[in-house]
Amino acid sequence: MSAALLNGKELAAKKREAMKKEVSALIEGGTTPGLAVILVGDNQASQTYVRSKQKSCEQIGIHSVLIKLPEETTEATLLTEIDRLNEDPTIDGILVQLPLPPQIQERAVIEKITPSKDVDGFHPINIGKMMTKDKTFLPCTPYGIVEMLKEADITIGGKHVVVIGRSNIVGKPVGQLLLNEDATVTYCHSRTNDLATFTKQADILIVAIGKAKFIKASDVKEGAVVIDVGMNREDGKLCGDVDFEEVKEVASHLTPVPGGVGPMTITMLLENTIQSAKDRT
Ligand SMILES: Nc1nc(=O)c2c([nH]1)NC[C@@H]1CN(c3ccc(C(=O)N[C@@H](CCC(=O)O)C(=O)O)cc3)C=[N+]21
C-alpha cells in the first residue's frame, strides 16, 4: 500500500490565489491589510522563516513591515514597540517571531499584543475563545491542519485523533480544534508510557515532537491518516518527525516535509491577517 500525499504546498497555492483577489478587493475599497513581524536577534532559522512570511505577504498584496531588533533588546523596549503597533491603524496583525532571547519573557510579550491583532492566535483571550468555540484567530499550524483534512474529505467527527506533543502552539491547540470538530482526542507526550499502544489506535495521528523520523511503520495502524508537524534539520536537509519511507506503506494519507504543514501555517497567517483587516472598524 502507498499513502496518498496531503500536499500542503498545492493547497496553500490554491488558497493564496483566492486571497490575492480578496486583498485586491479590500484595497479597492480603501483597506490595505498590514502585517508587522518583529524579529529579535539573528537566529538563522528565524530569519529564514521571517523572510518566507514577508515574501508570502508580498505575493498576495498584504503590506508587510519587518521590525528587526538586536539580540540584547530588553523586554521593556519590545513591549513599547508592540504598543506602538497596537495603536498603528495601518497594521492589522502583529507577529513576534519565537523563540525570544532569554532576557525576554514570552508570556509578557504575547499578552501585550492586542487580541484583535493577534494573528498567531497565541493570546490567552483568543485561546479561551478557541476552547469555547467562539469566533477568533485560530493558531496557524492547527488551523492549517484542519484545512488540509477538510480539503482531502477526511471525516473528523467520531474519529480517534492521537496527538503527540503538548506545546502551546501546536499540540494543545490542534487537539482542541479537532475536538471542536467532534473527534475523540488523546494527547501523548514525552512522559507517556508505552507510546505505541496509543499511536496504533489512531485514525488520525498528529506528530509534533521534534525528533527526526521518530514515528515508524510499526507505530501506525493500517489506513491511518498521519500528519507530520516536524521540522528537523539533518545535515542541511529538512526532515519530519515521521519516517516517511516506512509510514507511507501503511498510512492512507500522509503529509510530506517539506511541502506539507509548513506552507499551510503561513497561509493561515495570511488568512488571519485578511480577516483582521476585514474586521477593522
Ligand atoms: N510567532 C511565531 N509564529 C509562528 O508561526 C512561528 C514562530 N513564531 N516561530 C517559528 C515557527 C516555525 N514556523 C514555520 C512556518 C512555516 C514553515 C514552512 O513553510 N516550511 C516549509 C519549508 C521551509 C524550509 O525549507 O526551510 C515546508 O515545510 O515546506 C516552517 C516553519 C512558524 N513559526
Residue 111: how many other CB atoms lie within 10 Å: 16
Question: Does ligand 1 lie within 6 Å of residue 79's CB atom?
Answer: no
Q: Looking at ligand 1, which residue's alpha carbon is closest to its atom 2?
A: 97
Question: Does ligand 1 lie within 6 Å of residue 272's CB atom?
Answer: no
Cβ 265 vs Cβ 272: under 8 Å: no
User: Does residue 1 surpass a pLDDT of 70?
Assistant: no
165 is in an annotated binding site: yes
Q: Looking at ligand 1, which residue's alpha carbon is closest to its atom 4?
A: 97
Contacts of residue 18, defined as CB under 8 A and 6 or more positions apart, other chains included, come to none
Query: Is 120 noted as a catalytic residue in this protein?
Result: yes
Q: What angle do CA 99, 105, 109 make, to 5 degrees?
A: 85
- Domains of the chain plus CATH, in order, are 31-116 (3.40.50.10860), 139-262 (3.40.50.720)
Each residue's pLDDT tens digit, 188-212: 999 999 999 999 999 999 999 999 9
Tell if the pTM clears 0.90, that is, is over it. Answer: yes
Query: Is 97 noted as a catalytic residue in this protein?
Result: yes
Average pLDDT, the chain: 97
Can you give 25-92 as a three-state secondary structure string? Answer: HHHHCCCCCEEEEEEECCCHHHHHHHHHHHHHHHHHCCEEEEEEECCCCCHHHHHHHHHHHHHCCCCC
Pocket test for ligand 1, best of 9, 52, 227, 229 (most atoms within 8 A of CB): 52
What is the pLDDT averaged over residues 96-106? 97
